[in-house]
Amino acid sequence: MTATLRLPVLSLTDTVVLPGMVVPVELDEQAQAAVDSAVSAAAEGEPKKLLLAPRLGDRYPTFGAVATIEKLGRLPGGAPGAVLRAESRVRIGTGVTGPGSALWVEAETVDDTATTEQTGKLAAEYKALVIASLQKRNAWQIIDTVESITDPSQLADTSGWASYFTAEQKRQLLETPDVDARLTVLIEWTRDHLAEVEVADKIGEQVREGMEKSQREFLLRQQLAAIRKELGENEPDGSEDYRQKVEEADLPEKVREAALREVGKLERASDQSPESGWIRTWLDTVLELSWTTTTQDNVDVTAAREQLDADHHGLDDVKDRIVEYLAVRSRRAARGLQVIGGRGSGAVLALAGPPGVGKTSLGESVAKALGRKFVRVALGGVRDEAEIRGHRRTYVGALPGRIVRAISEAGSMNPVVLLDEVDKLGSDFRGDPAAALLEVLDPAQNHTFRDHYLEIDLDLSDVLFLATANVIENIPGPLLDRMELVQLDGYTENDKVAIARTHLWGRQLEKAALDDAEVGIDDESLRLIATEYTREAGVRQLERALAKVLRKVATKLGTGSDRIDVTPANLKDFLGRPRFTSDAAERTAVPGVATGLAVTGLGGDVLYIEATALPGEKKGLQLTGQLGDVMKESAQIAQSYLRSHAVQLGIDPDDLEKTVHLHVPAGAVPKDGPSAGVTMVTALASLATGRNVRSDVAMTGEVTLNGRVLPIGGVKQKLLAAQRAGMKIVFIPRRNEPDLDDVPAEILAELDVRPMTDVAEIVAQALEPATTTGAEIAA
């Protein structure tokens, strides 16, 4: 039931008082007038009451709280004050007159709504949330008070004490007489508050843990520094130490400036910062490089050539090039010209040849002859461009490239760097290492080589680069163009015997713990091992065969023998039966088989091409032997040439209309290239005429539809292979005749090399004389 009250008004700025709250109020002039009016209007013995009206912003209040003046006096600061107890919620009406100078208004009391089951549930939920909030603040005494409240309206009005509610929210509660509505909005606000508190607590915990960890590390570092000081040890790798190291190091001016900039960053960075570790690693790498250290070249050209001859047999091309390089540098030094550094003062040689000819070991010999440091960089299988140029420093585990690491390992700026297996470089999504080598191996550019890790110009112009490769075709053209190509085509039998006698035999004696007093071998045995037990361009298999012989010898000496001499008569006891014998006579014993010459990654080799005719009406050419596109085209050209020149070659045109099967044995090995053209023509002509190809004849060359013999590559390697296979006559294109200057004289003495221009001449000389006329193709 509502009632109308006449009350003086006490306006509270930015403060809202809800029923049930007891608040102290400082009495200014307006507040004092309201209190005086309430005191004068109250009857003797009656409570002195006034209206507490919140004043927020420009809006006049519509609700207020009736409060009783509990006590008048002074506040702790000495100002006059009063203690007021808010009792009930009222709706503010119109202004009225009253005693005193205060503002008087009529106010209508507001009754709380009836309590329902829903109200009880809301009150219980809100009470639980309030208690949870108080528990976070460990306010256990207040929790007891809250738990004792049973009236839902009273419970809702306790929110006036909550510091996490704004004055505007509290005024909304004051203006909501409905208990259910008040509890509903309070539950929503309190949940939001608890969520904020949880997030804040989590963040605070993380911050506290981080601060505790930092403080603990700081204290430990301070203790460690104190311990080092007591022990007389300085702090290792400190920024002051790096600055001293950089200032004392012999660095080029630009490098010193870059290093000092990084030292400045290190001094400003925290010890716990990851950047500090990156900077220290970078500075260590820069300081390890010998920026101004170079070795003095051996200027004695004669002594250098003697050193090269002592280490390697043959290989005159490479030795001549190294001696020329040394002679030029010697003359420049004698005339006071620039020798160290500068554009184009270095050299880049590409040593290409089959395995086992001494390409890799030649690098050490060159370094020894020049008096330089030697370092080998294995490139086989490298697929990441960063392996050459280095990684950016921002990457975890970043390192400089292999070139910079090689210079650091050598300890000088003018070493001999051997780039081994440059033809085995790969490429994928990480880049092309071969492309990264373009700058490294260009004498006109590598004086300002920049590694991605160092980001400082590095002068590689005085480095002697040697690159090795087995297959020249696998080296990208732009990279090969930057290098001087020196071919190492393989050794003759005499070379192999000399190498075995002067180098391999003594090395294997030492490995087997034997000496010349216990075992001996004659040159004829060495020649048999080189020809019948190995068939290679190099001497790697030859050395393995010698190692096997000496293992057998060591075994026999262990059973009581005094001395063993290896001879052709007992060689079979050590190595078994010969593995390689000439089978050319057997292979060419039937028409349709011709002996060609090819170059593979292992050097020169003979290549047998077989042809046979198939019965049936179907016409065409069948090809087998895993042939490439170029070789397939050569077969088609050969057949077309024979058909168009059948009369000239003495072939019945009808014999060429049958199906011909052309096969190149060793089908598991891919074969391609144009140099088998003349061999295919000869094999097909042999089949068509029924005349065998001479067993001592081999040939090579590309053929055109008109029968012209075009030049090919690898003449020296092919002639070496022909000599190893026991051939006597070799047909080559006439335009390859200048290549014979590179062939050893002993090979030319054993072979009858015939330069040709027309394939018909090759056919005429390669086929054995006809025994019958009108030869027919065997069906």
Query: Is residue 355 annotated as involved in ligand binding?
Result: yes
The pLDDT score that the predictor gives to residue 346 is 62
Q: What is the C-alpha to C-alpha distance for residues 617 and 293, in angstroms, rounded to an integer?
A: 79
Instruction: Give the model confidence (pLDDT) of 398-413 as tens digits.
Output: 888 888 898 888 888 8
757: which DSSP letter?
S
Q: Tell me if residue 654 falls in helix, strand or coil.
A: helix
Q: Tell whether the model's pLDDT for residue 777 goes beyond 50.
A: no
The pLDDT score that the predictor gives to residue 240 is 60
Q: What is the C-alpha to C-alpha distance for residues 464 and 340, in angstroms, rounded to an integer?
A: 12
Q: Which whole-number Å values give the CA distances from 628 to 175, 286, 476, 634, 667, in the listed order?
A: 95, 50, 20, 10, 12
Rounded mean pLDDT, 385-395: 82
Q: How much is the mean pLDDT over the chain?
A: 85
The pLDDT score that the predictor gives to residue 237 is 53
Q: Which whole-number Å values give the CA distances from 541 to 150, 532, 598, in the listed order?
A: 103, 12, 20
The pLDDT score that the predictor gives to residue 184 is 92
* Burial (CB count <10 Å: 0-12, 13-18, 19+), residue 346: buried
Q: How confident is the model at residue 114 (pLDDT cuts 50, 70, 90)?
A: low
Instruction: Give the model confidence (pLDDT) of 134-173 as tens digits.
Output: 887 777 778 888 888 888 888 899 988 888 899 999 999 9
The pLDDT score that the predictor gives to residue 545 is 92
The pLDDT score that the predictor gives to residue 111 is 80
Q: How confident is the model at residue 778 (pLDDT cuts 50, 70, 90)?
A: very low
DSSP per position, 377-423: EE-TT---THHHH---TTSTT----HHHHHHHHHTSSS-EEEEETGG
Q: Alpha helix locations (H) across 621-694?
A: 629-644, 646-649, 677-689
Q: How confident is the model at residue 745 (pLDDT cuts 50, 70, 90)?
A: confident
Q: How confident is the model at residue 238 (pLDDT cuts 50, 70, 90)?
A: low
Q: What is the C-alpha to C-alpha distance for residues 699 and 682, in angstroms, rounded to an integer?
A: 9
Q: What is the C-alpha to C-alpha distance for residues 257 and 291, in angstroms, rounded to an integer?
A: 14
State residue 465 phi and psi, 5-degree precision.
-95, 130
Catalytic status, residue 675: yes
* Higher-pLDDT residue of 453, 234: 453
Q: Alpha helix locations (H) across 269-358?
A: 274-288, 301-311, 316-334
Q: Tell me if residue 503 falls in helix, strand or coil.
A: helix
* Higher-pLDDT residue of 489, 598: 598
Q: What is the C-alpha to C-alpha distance for residues 635 and 375, in angstroms, rounded to an integer?
A: 47
Q: How confident is the model at residue 185 (pLDDT cuts 50, 70, 90)?
A: very high
Task: Among 3.90.45.10, 3.40.50.300, 3.40.50.1370, 3.40.190.10, name the CATH number for the domain at 301-487.
Answer: 3.40.50.300
Catalytic status, residue 254: no
Query: Is residue 701 annotated as involved in ligand binding?
Result: no
Rounded mean pLDDT, 585-610: 84
- Residue 352 has, within 13 A of its CA and on its CB side, a CA count of 21
Task: Among 3.30.230.10, 2.60.260.20, 1.10.357.10, 3.40.50.300, name the CATH number for the domain at 584-766.
Answer: 3.30.230.10
Q: How confident is the model at residue 771 (pLDDT cuts 50, 70, 90)?
A: low
Query: Is residue 606 annotated as involved in ligand binding?
Result: no
The pLDDT score that the predictor gives to residue 65 is 93
Say if residues 34 and 21 touch (Cβ distance below 8 Å).
no
Rounded mean pLDDT, 236-264: 80
Say if residues 173 and 160 touch (Cβ distance below 8 Å).
yes
Instruction: Give the model confidence (pLDDT) of 262-305 as tens digits.
Output: 888 887 776 667 777 788 888 888 888 888 888 887 778 888 88
Q: Tell me if residue 744 falls in helix, strand or coil.
A: coil
Q: Which residue has the tokens 């003046």?
A: 69
Say if residues 747 and 698 touch (Cβ distance below 8 Å).
no
Q: Tell whether the model's pLDDT for residue 343 goes beyond 60.
A: no
* Higher-pLDDT residue of 618, 29: 29
Rounded mean pLDDT, 207-235: 76
Weakest-pLDDT range from 332-346, 433-447, 501-515, 533-547 = 332-346
Q: Tell whether the model's pLDDT for residue 700 goes beyond 90.
A: yes
Q: Tell whether the model's pLDDT for residue 774 goes beyond 50.
A: no
Q: How confident is the model at residue 394 (pLDDT cuts 50, 70, 90)?
A: confident
Q: Which two tokens stand for residue 729?
A: 């006559």
Q: Tell whether the model's pLDDT for residue 232 goes beyond 70.
A: no
735: which DSSP letter?
G
Q: Which two tokens stand for residue 90?
A: 């009222």
**Cα dihedral sign for 161, 167, 169, 171?**
positive
Classify domain 493-575 at the CATH topology level. Answer: Helicase, Ruva Protein; domain 3 (1.10.8)
pLDDT above 70 covers a percentage of the chain that reads 94
Q: How confident is the model at residue 775 (pLDDT cuts 50, 70, 90)?
A: very low
Classify domain 4-109 at the CATH topology level. Answer: 2.30.130
Query: Is residue 478 annotated as involved in ligand binding?
Result: no
Q: Which two tokens stand for residue 351?
A: 């040593």
Q: Which of 159, 276, 461, 675 is catalytic?
A: 675
Q: How confident is the model at residue 731 (pLDDT cuts 50, 70, 90)?
A: very high
Q: Tell whether the model's pLDDT for residue 342 goes beyond 60.
A: no
Ranges 312-321, 330-339, 467-476, most confident? 467-476
The pLDDT score that the predictor gives to residue 772 is 44
Q: What is the C-alpha to C-alpha distance for residues 74 and 89, in angstroms, rounded to an integer?
A: 28
Query: Which one, of 334, 294, 591, lies nearest residue 415 by Cα?
Result: 294
Query: Is residue 360 annotated as involved in ligand binding?
Result: yes
pLDDT above 90 covers a percentage of the chain that reads 20
Q: What is the C-alpha to C-alpha distance for residues 575 and 570, in angstroms, rounded to an integer?
A: 9
Give me the amino acid identity at 393: R
Query: Is residue 677 annotated as involved in ligand binding?
Result: no
Instruction: Give the model confidence (pLDDT) of 138-147 as tens digits.
Output: 777 788 888 8
- What residues does each domain of the chain span? 4-109, 239-288, 301-487, 493-575, 584-766
Q: Tell me if residue 768 falls in helix, strand or coil.
A: coil
The pLDDT score that the predictor gives to residue 776 is 39
